Amino acid sequence: MATATAATDQIQSRLSSLPPPFSTSPETFELITQGAEALVYKTIFLSPSQPVALKIRPTKTWRHPTLDKRLTKQRITAEARVLVKCRKEGVPVPNVLGLDWEKGWTAVEWIEGKTVKQAIRERDLNKEDELVDLLGRIGRVVGKLHASGVIHGDLTTSNMMIRRAETEGGSGGLEGEIVLIDFGLASQAMQEEERAVDLYVLERAFGSTHPKEEGLFGKVLEAYEGTYKGARSTLRRLEDVRMRGRKKRLFCLAVYLLYSIAASFQLYFQRRAFKRAHGCESPPQYPLRDPFGLGFITKVIPAAKRQELLPYFDSLHQRFGKTFSYQPWFGRGVLFSVEPENVKYMSTTNFEDWGSRDARQEGVGELLGDGIFTTDGAFWAHSRALIRPQFDRAQVSEQVEPFESTTIKLIRKIPSDGQTVDLQKLFHKFTMDTSAKFLTGTSTNSLDDEQAEEAQKFMDAFDYAMEDAVWRVRLGKLYWFRPDRKAPAAIKYVRDYVRQWVDRAVAYRDSVAAATKDQESDDGAYIFINELAKQKEVDATRIHNETLNVLLAGRDTTAGVLSHMWYILARRPDVWEKLRAEVDALQGEPPTYVKLKEMRYMRNCIRETLRLYPSLPIIGKRAVKDTILPRGGGTQGDKPIFVPKGTNFTPSLWSLHRDKDVYGADAEDFRPERWTESLRPYWSYLPFGGGPRVCLGQQYAQSQAMYVTTRLMQHFDRIEPRDSEVLRHRLSPTLSVNGGNKIAFIA
């Protein structure tokens, strides 16, 4: 982090030291790209209507200062000379507007439009003639470039822009002038070899970036030959370059195969020694019917579609024991274990050997980005350090009373004359509103009729994106055989919706008030996102991602707990009456944080609900190095087991929390009283995880669930179930009642 801060300070110092007009420009410098040698910003030049690309070459601290200055000067002047020469010869390139090699910057004309790479990927697949025309224009531009005696050095579709004519309007299609950009590796040369290599780089880059269009690359060479007079000799040399490239690839492939074989033998003997040193033995194996493990997948997917995945995994544990593994010949191995000692060992003792990033990024990475739930190591530790203060006991206690206004809105949505209502849907709206209020100071107002439509669109998009994330995890690499064009749109809608909150927080931080006022909203309420924005090392992207990460936990997990508990309350009048007695002691007054702590039976009901129906019933971890777990191996299951790097470890809390050795013969039953009988489940009860990654928001979630339950019971005398007795569950990835929770309230 110190390195990143130092780099930022250096850039800011360099920007502030620029001569006019940059040093006096009121415009902010928008970072466009950041490469190994330079950073490119968008700003203005001389007038507000003159946008420019400002290329800055930061000082390389690892290089001798004299050498660094000399290289910077050489590269800046060489690039400028090439651009000037190209402009003179009629090659479409950006115009050089200014430079200073002492300060390390170059200002060139800003090219408005899309890169060729982006345009090809977004093109209409039914209009191949447009693509052929585009490739012809690329060939002609490269021909002009070589005819002028210039080699680009990095010809890719990312370094070509499509500049549309002002009269055309819009930004769609492939029409427009091709403009070559980024001449940092360019040189003036007359050798056939150099021109041929330039074309070869373009050919290889085009094939890897646009594999579906690779067969049409010949159109580029045809147009090149028709534009550049010396093209024939260059194309003959291109064949030689290709041949050398093939030979090099074959040689590299042979070396790679030999290296892989040698490395495999070395790894085998290393792992064998590791197993012997730790006394490891193999756990029971799920039988394979084919090398790819498709037999297992064909069992899992139907169970998931029937909303019976958790009972299916439980049946596997009944069949194979508390620990077993599934290891296809080709693909990633999976270890299933509900041994409390294994879960503890993974969560604490060898915590560093396990990661969440890879497994979670495969599912929710595109939606949530890099945040507290999707990262490991130093980044995760920094995220946790940023977020921990926001969930300290004082902040949680202050959040109880603000629940009241949203709870009243929830109560008004519930008919009191016995009409059926889907309580789960209302709970999701309630937790979305309260979470948004806590995080951003602004509710989504999904319980308000006037603003519910926009909030519902957001929640629908959020739900769709999370459902897609579940399928990404279940199918792994096979997910790409299940194309879903709606998912990217849903993810974009969610991130765009949250972006408005982020922009407000950044604006608040940058305002004068941020330096003089405490972090409070107009009504004095605490605001998570503003508090996060106060941290100097946190940029807008980080705020965006961390907010989404916490929003997921705050919305879905608490709503799931409430839905399951009220499903039970509608069918257990004995539990309802015991809770009623505890609630009546408040004499109709809204509970304070202190009063909630005194409501032991309600807290035990929450605990029992989380035991039977944990919000995240499956924990996903992946071994980041070869490691061990203490139990599960051998015929008795009491020996350590070896876990190879890359293995997924998926403890099922659903099964762990139903262990009859811990909870007794009635482990499947809802009985809150068990928590007053000296029950000490330790690592057999993990609704909020354990170890360094234990959930920071557990007090907030439990207080919220207890508060809304108390207020609902104060307003309604009794409830009745209005749906099937068969309880099925939806996993996406948090647990909810499949089909909703239909209940009737009577005041």
CA distance 315 to 323: 12
Reduced to 3 states, what is the DSSP secondary structure of residue 15? Answer: helix
> Can you say whether residue 64 is alpha, beta or left, with left for phi > 0 and alpha for psi between -120 and 50 degrees?
beta
Residue owning tokens 């012997």: 276
Of 222, 205, 227, which is closest to residue 91 (Cα–Cα)? 227
Q: Which tokens hold the place of 38?
A: 């330079």
C-beta of residue 286 within 8 angstroms of C-beta of residue 320: yes
Those residues whose C-beta lies under 8 Å from the C-beta of residue 680, and which sit 6 or more positions away, are none
Give residue 13's identity as a one-letter amino acid code: S
CA distance 583 to 38: 65
If 0-12 CB within 10 Å is exposed, 13-18 middle and 19+ buried, where does residue 379 land?
middle
Those residues whose C-beta lies under 8 Å from the C-beta of residue 584, and which sit 6 or more positions away, are none
C-beta of residue 512 within 8 angstroms of C-beta of residue 484: no
If 0-12 CB within 10 Å is exposed, 13-18 middle and 19+ buried, where does residue 551 land?
buried
DSSP string, 716-740: -SEEEE-S-SS--EEESSSEEETT-
Count how many residues are written for the chain: 747
CA angle in degrees (0–180, nearest 5) for 411-413-418: 90
Of 498, 480, 604, 605, which is closest to residue 543 (Cα–Cα)? 498
C-beta of residue 342 within 8 angstroms of C-beta of residue 323: yes
CA distance 181 to 5: 29
CA distance 355 to 627: 12
Residue owning tokens 């996993």: 731
Active site residue 154: yes
DSSP string, 617-636: -B--EEESSSEEEEEEESTT
Residue owning tokens 């052929």: 132
CA distance 703 to 550: 17
C-beta of residue 434 within 8 angstroms of C-beta of residue 410: no
C-beta of residue 31 within 8 angstroms of C-beta of residue 43: no
Measured in Å, how far apart are the chain's first and last C-alpha atoms? 57
Of 504, 505, 501, which is closest to residue 443 (Cα–Cα)? 501
If 0-12 CB within 10 Å is exposed, 13-18 middle and 19+ buried, where does residue 438 land?
buried
C-beta of residue 273 within 8 angstroms of C-beta of residue 615: no
Of 242, 240, 241, 199, which is closest to residue 220 (Cα–Cα)? 199
CA distances (Å), origin 419, targets 386, 423, 430, 710: 45, 12, 20, 21
List 68, 133, 154, 314, catalytic entry:
154
Known binding residue 252? Answer is no
Enumerate the H helices of 324-392 as residue ranges. 340-344, 357-368, 377-387
Q: Which tokens hold the place of 260?
A: 């892989």
Q: How many CB atoms lie within 10 A of CB 532?
A: 23
DSSP string, 395-422: HHHHHHTTHHHHHHHHHHTS-SEEEEEE
Q: List, by residue number, the catalytic residues.
A: 154
Query: Which positions make up the binding site for heme?
Result: 695
Q: Per the annotation, where are the binding residues?
A: 695
